[in-house]
Structure 1
Amino acid sequence: MRITAFFLAGLIAGAAHAELPDPITDEDYMAVDPAQVKLGQMLFYDPILSGNRNIACATCHHPKFATADGVALSLGEGGKGLGPERRADPENLPEERIPRNAPALFNLGAHEFTVLFHDGRIEVDPTKPGGLRTPMGAEMSAGFANLLSAQTMFPVLSADEMAGHYSENDVAQAVRQGVITGPDGAWAKLSARVNETPGYKPLIEAAYPEAGEVTFTDISDAIAAFMAFEWRSDTSPFDAYLRGQAPLSPQADLGRALFYEEAGCSTCHAGKFQTDHGFHAMGVPQFGPGKVARFENHARDLGRMRVTGRETDAYAFRTPSLRNVALTGPYGHTGSHADLAAFIADHADPVAALDRFDPGQVKLPELPGVEDWRHLASAEDQAALKAAVRVTPVTLESADIAALVAFLDSLTDPAAITGRLGIPETVPSGLPVER
């Protein structure tokens, strides 16, 4: 299907018939405790929660890079620096890259976000103990206040992300032994660090006045409260448009009509946060290690299929929210595209785009001794990736893409990008804060 922005100009008058979302309201978000938010802010920026005390949540989710890190695939443990400047430490080389692009954190406190991670491996499920389904099992899923809190269990237990490798520290050793919960588990060791840090005592007393000390789930709940508060995003130009407060620019309005009408973007990027929270195979180029088990080596990243076991879910990944998308690149679950316009062009016809994909555009920090491109070089892998795509191609002219980019830029919310509390000057542990 071929469409042009010039043709769509004639649709603007009838665009009111498009299914635009309702304006976002306070009722769309979970309530948060201000004292927990403050504690969570300190914990989010404090490297104390990493095995080697050298990585914070903010290392890969930094406001300087719109709550991501500006690279295709991150370097966690064994990396030094922030964002695109992060490099492998030659004295402690990372064993592997993080297999998927660091997602942005906007609006995760909204009630409708009931599934998280690129493959949806953690989601709200009232039939499960604690109301959550995770690959960690019932015991480890209990006690978290909400889904956003529970997702913090993954990075702190990952050797390549925050825990460190097996012989490096007591947390990593506990993870290696499979001792996560209980008095000698990895979570208890992390909690003890916080409880034993004097600067955290008044924050803990304010956030959990009856507790005295925090458990790991308390820590997670506080971080979740902070993320929900800090990066709520609903004061963009598009929000003002939906509330009848101000019009969009002519170019953005043209892109809006295209997005919600002929281009069909809102088929998947639906609702108040431009996501259907579903999973779709869109042929995003695969490189790096893939999401594999520890015993595997560079297996294909099958996405949602690894969670459900259904072959129909092969290479399907969660539809991301598009809030602040103009600033959250690189794009795709591997961060394959640094440029938003280029990603839109390839996303419109993903099978054809795979044949012309240029790895030279990928923002990938150098990691010596690691083979990143084997999947792109494999005809079998490429064929499987193409076969999973089921969307109908749409041909976009350059004017269409420019209009879509203008509309997506209207989803940028300066207040959310800056953050409401911002980056603290110091954290209670005294460890360095990445600024």
Structure 2
Amino acid sequence: MDDFLPTDPAQARLGQLLFYDPILSGNRNISCGTCHHHSLASGDGLSLGIGEGGRGLGKDRTPGTGPDQIRKRIPRNAPALWNLGHKSIRVLFHDGRLEISDQYGNGFDSPAEEWLPQGLNSILAAQALFPLTAQFEMAGNVGENDVTGAVHDRIDLGWPVLAKRVRTIPEYGALFVEAFAHIDTPAEVTIVEIGNALGAFMASEWISIDSPYDAWQRHGAPLPPAAERGRQLFFGKAACSTCHAGPLFTDQEFHALGLPAFGPGRTRIFDPMPRDVGRMGETDRIEDAYRFRTPSLRNVALTAPYGHNGAFATLEVMIRHHLNPAVSQASWQEADAGLPAVPWLAVSDFAIRQDRLEMARQARRLDIGPLPVSGTELSDLVAFMRALTGKNVTTRPLGRPDRVPSGLPVD
């Protein structure tokens, strides 16, 4: 446990309530837990999520109706939260747009640049603030509420609105005074304390280091034969550990895998095409085009679908893609994407695939190549990755609360 950030139990308990409380969304209709739910292994089970305006959880989530219906799918797959409190974590989000850095004098290089407040005590605390500002994730559409209106003016201006919402609820006010030594009255609570509480919860809640692989590594407990063969392939012939390295099975670097393109893309003001250029969207360097952060493989068997856009529904097909991306691209079908039906978005869901030049650009940017692996070896690799599943993944320290202080419904 020394490898993980220290957390205060009172702050983590407060963070648990905030994590599941829709009070932090512009329209008070979605929480962090909606897309990172305990019952869904800290994800949402969808290729591309349905954000604010939707109803329900996971594959049963619907896109809303009338004026509340969603206007866009979430452009990327909701990442799992396992072990993000590990001290080695230095970069977050699929494109790495949040990094530990002194560039802006607040400890982080982030989309808020110099407007990110001082005092956030971990990268997880900083990360927690950005979904709150995202229009289609939690903030809502311009004109619908005071949070998204403020964010539209400047990214940091919505956070004080949310902090006031929270601290003026008497139960929350008392909890902040109890959890933070420097807070004497609820009026002193800012978005920094909210972020630090959310970070404490996520850092302590999703620790998972008790898999069969951990037992093998620490005590020499033998893996099942198929998993042992898969382990040898993973660290040997298949070269998976080239990128999936270290205790979390990620090098925290960025690689182009040539995943099938679909969805709204992560568009930019000067680049409105429905594509996702990955790391290049953060660095503006052409060599970073279509590269995405290597995900951790801890509990990977529980966190389908896979890839930055959730293009592959099973571990087997995701591994198969790594072994021969060109063949995988050619055989991929639109039905393979786990997208709940949204009739008014159907025309745009796969529009980018009709752009011949864009597809050619993406095909040329590839950091993996064909690797001969037999069907049996593929099954062994899957078995090894299943051996990265913790024994106590369903038994979390705090879990999902039955109620939250705002009185709003808990997903």
TM over 0.5: yes
Aligned to 1:217: 192
Alignment partner of 1:132 is 2:108: yes
Structure 1 residues 141 and 386: alpha-carbon distance in aligned structure 2, compared to 1, 3 A threshold: farther
Aligned to 1:159: 135
Aligned to 1:380: 357
Q: CA deviation at 1:40?
A: 0.4
SS in 1 for 2:72: coil
**Quick check: 2:27–2:140 contact (8 Å CA) kept in 1?**
yes
Aligned mates of 2:308, 2:150 — CA distance in 1: 30
Amino acid at match of 2:356: A
**Quick check: 1:121–1:307 contact (8 Å CA) kept in 2?**
yes
Q: Which runs of 5 or more structure 2 residues have no equivalent in the other structure?
A: none
Aligned to 2:166: 194
Aligned to 1:19: none
Of the three residues 283, 298, 302, the one matched with 1:327 is: 302
Aligned to 1:208: 180
Aligned to 2:408: 431
**Quick check: 1:133–1:141 contact (8 Å CA) kept in 2?**
no
SS in 2 for 1:416: coil
Aligned to 1:70: 45
Aligned mates of 1:417, 1:401 — CA distance in 2: 27
Normalised by the size of structure 2, how large is the TM-score? 0.95
Normalised by the size of structure 1, how large is the TM-score? 0.90
User: 1:50-97 deviations in whole A, cap 9, x for unaligned?
Assistant: 011110000000111110100000010121111110011122221101
Alignment partner of 1:249 is 2:224: yes
Of the three residues 124, 144, 154, the one matched with 1:168 is: 144
Aligned to 1:100: 76
Alignment partner of 1:315 is 2:290: yes
**Quick check: 2:35–2:78 contact (8 Å CA) kept in 1?**
yes
Structure 1 residues 193 and 228: alpha-carbon distance in aligned structure 2, compared to 1, 3 A threshold: same
Aligned to 1:239: 214
Of the three residues 383, 406, 411, the one matched with 2:388 is: 411
Q: Which runs of 5 or more structure 1 residues have no equivalent in the other structure?
A: 1-25
Q: CA deviation at 1:208?
A: 1.2
Amino acid at match of 2:249: Q
Amino acid at match of 1:107: N
**Quick check: 1:45–1:56 contact (8 Å CA) kept in 2?**
yes
Q: CA deviation at 1:285?
A: 1.1
Of the three residues 246, 261, 282, the one matched with 1:286 is: 261
Aligned CA-pair RMSD: 1.4
Greater Cα offset, 338-347 or 257-266:
338-347
Aligned residues: 405
Aligned mates of 2:338, 2:239 — CA distance in 1: 29
Amino acid at match of 1:240: A
Identical-pair percentage = 46
Of the three residues 136, 143, 165, the one matched with 2:119 is: 143
Aligned mates of 1:90, 1:394 — CA distance in 2: 47
Amino acid at match of 1:427: V
Structure 1 residues 270 and 27: alpha-carbon distance in aligned structure 2, compared to 1, 3 A threshold: same
Runs of 4+ in 1 over 6 A off after TM superposition: none
Aligned mates of 2:271, 2:264 — CA distance in 1: 10
**Quick check: 2:49–2:74 contact (8 Å CA) kept in 1?**
yes
Greater Cα offset, 167-176 or 275-284:
167-176
Q: CA deviation at 1:240?
A: 0.9
Aligned to 1:119: 95
Amino acid at match of 1:146: S
**Quick check: 2:82–2:208 contact (8 Å CA) kept in 1?**
yes
Aligned mates of 1:294, 1:158 — CA distance in 2: 15
Amino acid at match of 2:387: S
Greater Cα offset, 424-433 or 200-209:
200-209
User: 1:171-192 deviations in whole A, cap 9, x for unaligned?
Assistant: 11211232x54xxx31111111
Aligned to 1:40: 15
**Quick check: 1:141–1:150 contact (8 Å CA) kept in 2?**
no
Alignment partner of 1:392 is 2:364: no
